């Protein structure tokens, strides 16, 4: 199925009704779902992609924290647990979200930016999240890749999902990835183009049927899009006042990291993102935020130039 929508609200209601009415019943891992294969949704204006009027229980604290982790290239379970009242712990292994996007994209997004600068017409500006050697953990990435295309001076984004949960996935995915597109467009001094979201499996779990049912009859309602969530495209959103727009990806990552530490940012973020403590540090090897006591410095004089890294990275060497 293919939908071209003006807003996330419009697309979301249509998807919800279509999957419930026409989806095939399947039960991966014994959990009954209604599934539609090869669902593609395209938004002309990515700013309007987040479905903010759907009454899905969208938690903007989770959305913003996930976005900032992705932009800063880090992962911190503690912040997400605060944002979600502890819901993320159930997806962790040994205190880590093994499928976290931030560490997986840390080196890829700067490469994407560089490729688009070097060859604006390139078809190779792709960041890959899913890897061919995924192991069974509580947190397996649902996203396969993000492909960026500069066409006609507009930056388009094509997101490929192997699996997409209508209730718990779509609202956050549309928000986070469309914001990444807006940031990348700002970095490259381009206008944002279309946002296209493709899911190999778009599904609704039976356990969410009652909650979803409360929204079916609102499918014909077209609310005025709510622009309550910052677009991440202007200096003032990052707390830089009248300074020029962002012009390098390194500055985007620096700003995102500042947001994590609550330095020089707007109240909108401080009200939603749990601040890190003085004992929180980023392991330079794996990009996970750990307690300072878990960061180890080598005592081997031949390796003194090597940066400190967390206990897990040392154990893996």
Alpha carbons within 13 angstroms on the beta-carbon side of residue 263 total 8
Q: How many other CB atoms are there within 10 angstroms of residue 313's CB atom?
A: 18
Contacts of 214 (CB under 8 A, 6+ apart): 55
202 burial (CB, 10 Å; 0-12 / 13-18 / 19+) is buried
Provide Rg for the chain, Cα atoms. 20
Mutual angle of helices 170-187 and 8-22, in 10-degree steps: 140
Q: 199 has which bridge partners?
A: 39, 161
Contacts of 136 (CB under 8 A, 6+ apart): none
Three-state DSSP class for residue 54: coil
CA angle 9, 200, 14 (to 5 degrees): 25
| Contact assessment for residue 182 and residue 22, using Cβ atoms and an 8 Å cutoff | no
Cα 15 to Cα 18: distance, rounded to the nearest angstrom? 5
| Active-site residue set | 142
Cα 106 to Cα 98: distance, rounded to the nearest angstrom? 14
Quote the tokens at residue 234. 């202007």
Nearest to 253 by CA among 306, 310, 193, 180: 180
């Amino acid at each position: 199925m293919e939908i071209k929508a003006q807003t996330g609200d419009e697309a979301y209601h249509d998807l919800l009704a279509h999957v419930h009415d026409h989806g095939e019943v399947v039960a991966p891992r014994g959990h009954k779902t209604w599934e539609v294969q090869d669902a593609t949704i395209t938004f002309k204006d990515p700013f309007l992609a987040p479905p903010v009027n759907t009454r899905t229980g969208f938690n903007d604290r989770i959305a913003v924290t996930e976005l900032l982790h992705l932009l800063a290239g880090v992962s911190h379970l503690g912040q997400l647990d605060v944002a979600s009242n502890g819901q993320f712990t159930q997806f962790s292994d040994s205190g880590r979200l093994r499928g976290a996007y931030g560490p997986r994209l840390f080196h890829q997004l700067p490469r994407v930016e560089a490729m688009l600068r070097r060859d604006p017409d390139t078809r190779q500006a792709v960041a890959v999240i899913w890897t061919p050697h995924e192991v069974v953990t509580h947190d397996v990435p649902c996203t396969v890749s993000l492909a960026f295309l500069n066409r006609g001076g507009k930056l388009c984004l094509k997101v490929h999902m192997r699996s997409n949960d209508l209730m718990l996935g779509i609202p956050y995915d549309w928000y986070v990835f469309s914001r990444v597109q807006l940031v990348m467009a700002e970095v490259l001094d381009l206008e944002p183009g279309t946002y296209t979201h493709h899911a190999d499996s778009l599904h609704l779990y039976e356990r969410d049927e009652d909650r979803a049912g409360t929204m079916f009859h609102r499918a014909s309602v077209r609310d005025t899009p709510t622009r309550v969530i910052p677009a991440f495209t202007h200096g003032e959103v990052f707390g830089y006042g009248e300074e020029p727009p962002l012009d390098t990806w390194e500055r985007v990552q620096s700003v995102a990291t500042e947001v994590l530490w609550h330095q020089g940012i707007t109240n909108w973020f401080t009200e939603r993102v749990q601040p890190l403590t003085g004992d929180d540090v980023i392991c330079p090897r794996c990009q996970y935020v750990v307690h300072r006591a878990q960061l180890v410095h080598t005592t081997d004089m031949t390796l003194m130039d090597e940066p400190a890294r967390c206990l897990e990275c040392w154990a893996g060497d």
